[in-house]
Every structure is written in C-alpha cells, then in structure tokens.
Amino acid sequence: MAFWKPGTAAPQLGLERPTGLSETEAGDTIGYNPHYRLPFKQQKLLLPIARARENILYALERYKTVVLVGETGSGKSTQVPQYLHESGWTQGDRVVLCTQPRRVAAITVAARVAEEMGCKLGGIVGYAVRFDSRVDEGGSRTRIKFVTDGLLLRETLYDPLLSAYSVIILDEAHERSMYTDVLLGLLKKVRKRRPELRIMISSATADAETFRDFFETFTYKGVSSEQSEGSNHDSTIVSITGRQHAVDVFYLSKAPRNYLRSAVDTVLSIIESEGRGDVLVFLPGMEEIDEAVVTVKEHLNALGGMENVVLVLPLHSSLPHHLQMKALQPPSRHVERKVIFATNIAETSLTIEGIRFIVDCGFVKLPVYDVRTGFESLVTTSVSRASATQRAGRAGRTGPGKCFRLYTEEAFSTLSAHTTPEVQRSNLAWMILQLKALGIDQVMTFDFIAQPSAEALMRGLELLYALGALDDRCRLTPDLGEKMAEFPVEPRLAKLLLASFDFHCTEEALTLVALLQVQNVWTNPKGRESRTIQEAAMAELASRDGDHLTLLAIYREWEEAGRSTEWCSEHFLNPRSLTRAREIRGQLRRYLERYKPKGSVFASCVDDSEALRRCVLTGFFFNAARLKSDGRYYTVRDGHPVALHSTSVLAKYGAPAEWIVYNDVVITSEPFLRDCSRIQPLWLMELAPHFYAYGGGKGTSISTSTNIC
C-alpha cells in the first residue's frame, strides 16, 4: 500500500511505507493539554479564545445574533459559557444554554466546564441528553446547561419562547443536523417575540455568512463591510484563530480494494515505523469499528507483548458513557500509544488527547430517505471535502501531525464541498410532529435555512395522517397525536408504544422499542469456527416468527441469567447494547406512565407472539412486504423489489414468510430488510383499514388518501 504527499515525486509501484519521524520530531508523547500542571485560571488564559473574550462579550451586547468562527481547539465550547456566566448573563435565575449535536459531546464538555469552575457536575453546570440528565432539581441552581440539539427542540414543546434562557449557543452548527436546522428556524421566530434573547452560533468558516444572513434583517448583499459598519444590522461574525499546527496529508497511489483492510494495515505501519503519538482512525460504523479493533488486537498479540503497550479502543455513539470516556481520557503510564477507531463522532465535537496521526477511510454512514420509495436507511457514502479537512485537522491540535487518506488525491478533488444538510435527506415525520405540537401548522412555509423538498414534507404529513396523529384538517389529534409528540422516539415507535395497551403487551413493547434504539445486539466474531458457534447460539434463541420476537427472547434470557457478561460471551451478544437498552426501557416506561390512555394498565402478553406482532404492525403498517411467485419480496405499498438481510432470522430458519413487516432498510447492492416479523395479510386490513383494502382476488392493494393537507 503506497501513500504519497502532494508536491513530492509521483508514487512508484515499489514505494515503501512512509519512513518514521526522526528522533527530534518524535519527542515525547503529545498530550492535548501541555499546560495541565498549571492552575485552570492560567490554562484558560493560554487558549486562543482568551484573546477574543472582550470582542465576544461586546458583540453579544451589541448584536442579537453572533456567529462565532473558531478552529477546533480554540476553546470556544468550554470558555464562552464561562465568559457569559462571569459577565452576568446568568444573574436573576437566567440560564446560558449550549447545544451539542451528540450526547457524548454534551456530557464531556459539561464535565470539563464543571471541573474548570470547581463545582460538582449537576450543580451550577449540568447537562441533559436523551435518557440521561444531571441538572439541579427544578433547575433552580443550574446556570450553565449543556444539551443535545434534539433535546432543546423537545424542550420547546413545554416552553415555546425558551424563557428560561438568556443566551442560547448552538455549537458545531456547521454539521447541519436536522435538529439544528429546525432550531435555527424556531429561534428566528422566538427572537421576534423576545428581543432580549441572544443567540450565538458556533460554525466552521464556510457556513458563517450563511448563518449570519439567515438571522439578519439588514441585507449584506452587495454591501461592503465598511458600508455596513454603521448600518442597523443585528447579526455579526466574530473570528478566532485556533492553535492549528501543520498537518502533512498523504494519499494512496491507487484506490484500495478493501478500505477496512487498508485502514488496519496503515495503523500497523504507523505503530511499526512512525514516531510517538496516538492514532485516530475514522470508519463509517460500529460493525467496521468492532472488526478493526479485534483485527489490530490480534496482530499486536501475535507480535508478543505489544497489546500491553498499544491500547486499541472503539469510539461510537452506541458505547456506554464510561467506555466513551475511556477513549477520551489519557491512558495509564505503561501505554506507549493509543489507537482509537471512531465514527464521525470524533470529527469535530470531541477533544481526544495526544492525537498525532489520522487515518481517514473517506467514508461515513448517513441516514438517507428516498422520497420515491419511502426507504429510510443508513447509507455508507463518501465524505465531503469539508469533513475530510476537519478530520485531518484533528492531527494538528498540539503539534505537527500526519493524515493518511485511504483514497487518491484525484478522488478527493471529486468529493462534494459540503455534506448535504440532514433536513434535505431525512424522513421529516418526527420534525413535522414537533412543529405541529408547537402550533406551527403551516409546515410547508416554515422558514428553513435549507428548504426540504415539498415531496419529503408531503410524505411526512402522509405518514402522520395514516398513523392517526393528524386529522382531516392536518391538526394534531388530541387523543393520539399530542401524546406521540411527547415521546423521544420516532412517530411509528411512539404509536407502537401507545397501541400496546390495546394488545395487552406493553411490557414486551417497551423491551422491543428499547432494543430497537441500540445498534446490533450481536457481536461480530472472527474466524469460521467462531461464526459457526455463533450461528448455533443464534438458532437457540431465534424465534421462527421473526426478529422482533428473537430480540425479546434474547432480553428475557439475559435477565434470567442475571444480566451476566459471561452468558453474553457464550451467546456472542453485546452486553453493552443490552445494558443500554435496559436503561432506555426504564425511561420509556416513565413516559408511558405519564401518557398512557386513561384506565389502562401495564400488562404482559407472555408467550402470545401474535399480540406483539400485531402491535408492531400498528406502527409499521407502511413497511409491509410480500413474497411473490418469482421468489422475491416486494413492498406492498409501491411494489419495489427488496430482500431479507442476511442477519434476519427469517432468512436463516424455517420456511420463508409470505407476508412480513420490517423496521429498517439497508441499501447496498439492493435494499435489504432488517428487523422483520411474519404477519398475516388480513392484519393489514384489520389494523390499517384506512390504508389497505382487499384487492378482489389480486392480493392486497393500496388505498391511500391523496388529499392529505
């Protein structure tokens, strides 16, 4: 595998691995904070943002919206909330709120700020993320609060004007998550009602003017900065120079056949031939990360003793909090190098100590919604040039670094400039439900910073109407729609939970929905023998009725085994995923206790598998497929050809199911269905008569209202 650096001689076929750093370059292991021995007060003064403190505070007094542009490592996430607290923005029971795109970032930044301020996390400084919260009871003492952008969007349901907050900071807004884009539109409306509210947007340079112009009442177009200086505008940009060091970027001479194998080989090459410094490897998803971690550990073990001095760790959103923290914290003294395999969770939001080498596979998993087919799936796609630049920059935080891109320079030049905003590639049903709950009925004319397609909005309205969340006038139904909006899960799962009381399977529904919130509960064993043993373990737990009942059986057996890690190992199950599901189940139960239909009780259907499958169908009747005479499955609604995913128990055991309901679609060579269960066709007409009708001998046909709103 040959890397080359642009500007040097062209690569040759026989080019050897890159040579290691010289002893002078290598030095000691680099840590993120070289001033950790100093008091926090002195450390903070050494951050690049310290020089801009007065400019930031002045801008916030002068302008209603401030776009803060700062490179990663400048200190904006941790220091700005403290500046605002010190300058009086939290006096009189006011709160400074800071959003993060991911839960792990919200938690880690909150912990760091609390440590710097010398207070207990959950007191003056707190955080709130989905299914986890550490704020003072009643919020009476918490003055700096970190949340995910999704949680803030939900908070607008209870306080549409966000009256508790004096300043709202949208951090990492350039990632353009759907929640962030919706929040931008909502905050623009809130600001009209609350002129005293200040909004700060942390962004990459490329998006700064886009954000400023979105909030600006004065038009900048065609006006120079000198001309606009005295104008009556209310938004501005403040730039901070970060402490970015030079990063040498290397490309492959030709595209690899297998980027995962190439990533592992590159890591082993760095360990063997490069100087000291930790390694951060970007891979698309959890499955690839787990496989890479196991492979590298096996290679290190074969070298004899290397596994004790090189710490190999995963980092992705499905990991429990303490394991995510393990990847972020400095290792023990005997560890010479840390290798972290991460998703794009580590691209901008997180600070990881000691990173000097980046390995970028060039891919990312993004949720993509196909309006035409109705398929919503995680698609592995190429990163944008902006994301690739962000990834490379992680190696230059504390000193010169290197970035090894597992693609050619020509391929880099063909990448899109920026990642498509999530609101333009997602199922919008949940977003529409939240806007409706806020009283924003005309969602087609909502002020988005990036307008989604009319077709996507109509699809979202259609789904909510079919679920019973909207009435004929496109208003939220009080008995169902308003309750569904309160749940922190997508509308179909909220409907499933609320309908579970009708089928007397609420306990099972809670377990199932919680398990569907975590990624794969199965591990990925290496080697033919291990996979054979796993197949036997899977067969022991599998239900011939499908994946939903199999998940339920796994959870029950795990509970009966005392939630034993040893039992999980014997059955090739991921104890972290099961533990996380148990935590989520407890949270969802509290929601159901609050919003359950009057007079309903929590019940168990025990071994009545039909009750649970019918309950699943109430939320996912859209997702039905039928096996036809050519041996292929076709979606009932649109007749698109699909196939069962190889991990589905319906693809492994027993006779093929003629009719199925599915939760998820994975698109590779063709659409593959995951989380499937066997159903009866009459259930479709019984449980969704407004959506399905008997086709008079030709099977089941679609009968959908075309005049939704």
301 C-beta neighbours (distance < 10 Å), count: 12
Same fold, 3-30+244-422 and 40-240: yes
pLDDT given at position 514: 96
Cβ pair 147, 97 in contact under 8 A:
yes
pLDDT tens-digit profile of 91-130?
988 999 999 988 888 998 999 899 999 999 999 999 998 7
Whole-number Å distance between alpha carbons of 388 and 403: 10
Question: Which is the CATH superfamily of the domain at 3-30+244-422?
Answer: P-loop containing nucleotide triphosphate hydrolases (3.40.50.300)
pLDDT given at position 697: 47
User: What residues does 146 pair with on adjacent strands?
Assistant: 98, 127
Q: What SS3 state is found at 360?
A: strand
Cβ pair 418, 386 in contact under 8 A:
yes
How would you label 407-446 residue by residue, b for 16+ Cβ within 10 Å and e otherwise?
Answer: bbeebbeebeeebebbbbbbbbbbbbbbbbbbebbebeeb
pLDDT given at position 410: 95
Q: What is the DSSP letter of 478?
A: T
pLDDT given at position 1: 64
Cβ pair 419, 366 in contact under 8 A:
yes
pLDDT given at position 695: 57
Dihedral angle at the C-alpha atoms of 627, 628, 634, 639, nearest 10 degrees? -150
- Would you give the distance in Å from CA 164 to the centre of its chain? 27
Burial (CB < 10 A; 0-12, 13-18, 19+), residue 643, is middle
Residue 190 dihedral angles phi and psi, to the nearest 5° = -65, -40
Burial (CB < 10 A; 0-12, 13-18, 19+), residue 666, is middle
Position 553, amino acid:
A
Whole-number Å distance between alpha carbons of 638 and 700: 11
Q: What is the sign, positive or negative, of the torsion defined by CA atoms of 354, 359, 364, 365?
A: negative
Residues in the chain: 709
Ranges of residues in the chain whose predicted pLDDT is under 70 = 1-43, 45-46, 72-73, 137-140, 204-206, 217-232, 242-244, 305, 320-321, 349-351, 526-527, 694-709
Whole-number Å distance between alpha carbons of 460 and 497: 20
Q: What is the 3-state secondary structure (H, E, C) of 529-578?
A: HHHHHHHHHHHHHCCCCEHHHHHHHHHHHHHHCCCCHHHHHHCCECHHHH
Strand ranges of the sheet holding 235-240, from the earlier edge strand across to the other edge: 132-134, 125-129, 144-148, 95-100, 165-170, 198-203, 65-70, 235-240
Burial (CB < 10 A; 0-12, 13-18, 19+), residue 669, is exposed
Q: Which residue has the tokens 């903070």?
A: 44
Fold of 40-240: Rossmann fold (3.40.50)
Encoding tokens for residue 697? 């001998």
pLDDT given at position 6: 62
C-alpha radius of gyration, the chain, whole number: 26
Encoding tokens for residue 426? 């997602």
Whole-number Å distance between alpha carbons of 594 and 2: 60
pLDDT given at position 96: 96
Taking alpha carbons only, the member of 675, 488, 664, 677 closest to residue 585 is: 488
Position 706, amino acid:
T
pLDDT given at position 504: 96
Residue 626 dihedral angles phi and psi, to the nearest 5° = -130, 140
Whole-number Å distance between alpha carbons of 463 and 648: 26
Encoding tokens for residue 598? 């009057």
Cβ pair 279, 267 in contact under 8 A:
yes
Pairing mode, strands 247-252 and 3-4 = antiparallel
Taking alpha carbons only, the member of 319, 323, 295 closest to residue 307 is: 295
Q: Which residues 6+ apart lie within 8 Å of 550 measured at CB?
A: 541, 542, 543, 649
Dihedral angle at the C-alpha atoms of 331, 336, 341, 347, nearest 10 degrees? 70
pLDDT tens-digit profile of 333-348?
888 899 999 998 888 7
Largest Cα span, the chain: 81
Domain boundaries, the chain: 3-30+244-422, 40-240, 428-476, 487-709
Apex 16 CA angle, 260 and 25, nearest 5? 90
pTM value is 0.79
Which H or E element spans position 633? strand 633-635
Q: What is the DSSP letter of 77?
A: H
